Amino acid sequence: MKSYFYIILLMIMSTSLLAQSNFKAQQLTFERVKQAYGEKWNSLQKELKKDQITGKFSLYIAAYKAERKLEIWLKENNQKQYKLFKVYPFCQHSGVLGPKLKEGDLQIPEGFYYITAFNPLSNFHLSLGINYPNSIDLLRSANEKPGSDIYIHGKCETVGCIPITDDKIKEVYVLATEARNGGQNQIPVHIYPFKITDTNLNKYLAQFPQHKAFWINLQQGYNYFEKYRRVPQVIELTNAYQFK
């Protein structure tokens, strides 16, 4: 019985590893992804080598709405700390500071998410979808429809997503594909209203006092990464995030 169990376990592990290593190959069957690799991968590899990233790596994405910046952080899988690799500007923006509350409000969400979709056939060239709404978003939306389909994508138009142009999404999509293919099953995407320093918090709370409790909660996750350069484990409680 034990040997049978181990055989089954090995089969499951082998299938998982095969699917993992085939992710890039599957993505490359799509013309836009193939084109993105052809245009961007050689130069990205040179930049990775310059940053002493030569093996498989993990990816962390941080977005800041007030600054309109998308930060790409990387670390080799045998390292503990992330290093800033690239920063891309939002090429368009919708809504104001504060979380997304309902469908159609044009708001970019705020909170702690991860990539759930690679879309090589996007209407916005290439796109990476996140798991909005999470449980805290659903609670905040109450009886309203929270909306969905939040992506980092190409082109330069938005009603609540993060567009960075076709040219730049090629780079981000390739890096996300490499991270996923290298074993990172959950790529974190943390979206902040702004860089949540105490100075910025006080500045923006003067204009948006209704978000005080929420932004102070987000600041805990922001501070953890700033201090340790590691992505915290995020736990969604009833109405707030907890970090480990």
Residue 20 in this model has a pLDDT that exceeds 80 = no
Phi, psi angles (nearest 5°) of residue 175: -65, -40
Among 91, 125, 153, 190, the active-site one is 153
Task: Mark whether 125 is an active-site residue.
Answer: no
Residue 15 in this model has a pLDDT that exceeds 60 = no
What pLDDT does residue 231 have?
Answer: 97
241 — pLDDT class (breaks 50, 70, 90): very high
What pLDDT does residue 21 have?
Answer: 62
Cα atoms in the Cβ-side hemisphere of radius 13 Å centred on 209? 1
Mean pLDDT in residue range 27-46? 98
Among 91, 125, 161, 190, the active-site one is 161
Identify the burial level of 26 via C-beta atoms within 10 angstroms of its C-beta, where 0-12 means exposed, 13-18 middle and 19 or more buried.
middle
CA distance 131 to 129: 7
Q: Which one-letter DSSP state was computed for residue 211? A: G
- N-terminal to C-terminal alpha carbon distance within the chain: 39
- CB under 8 Å to 137, separation ≥6 — which residues? 99, 100, 109, 111, 146
What pLDDT does residue 239 have?
Answer: 87
Query: If you compute the radius of gyration of the chain from its CA atoms, what whole number of angstroms results?
Result: 19
CA distance 130 to 81: 23
205 — pLDDT class (breaks 50, 70, 90): very high
Distance of CA 112 to the CA centre of its chain: 9
pLDDT in tens, 84-132: 999 999 999 999 999 999 999 999 999 999 999 999 999 999 999 999 9
Q: Which one-letter DSSP state was computed for residue 188? A: E
Residue 140 in this model has a pLDDT that exceeds 60 = yes
Angle CA 214–223–240, to nearest 5: 30
Task: Mark whether 161 is an active-site residue.
Answer: yes
pLDDT in tens, 163-185: 999 999 999 999 999 999 999 99
CA distance 126 to 20: 20
Helix (H) or strand (E) holding 175: helix 165-181
Domains observed in the chain: 2-243 (2.40.440.10)
| Mean pLDDT for the chain overall | 92
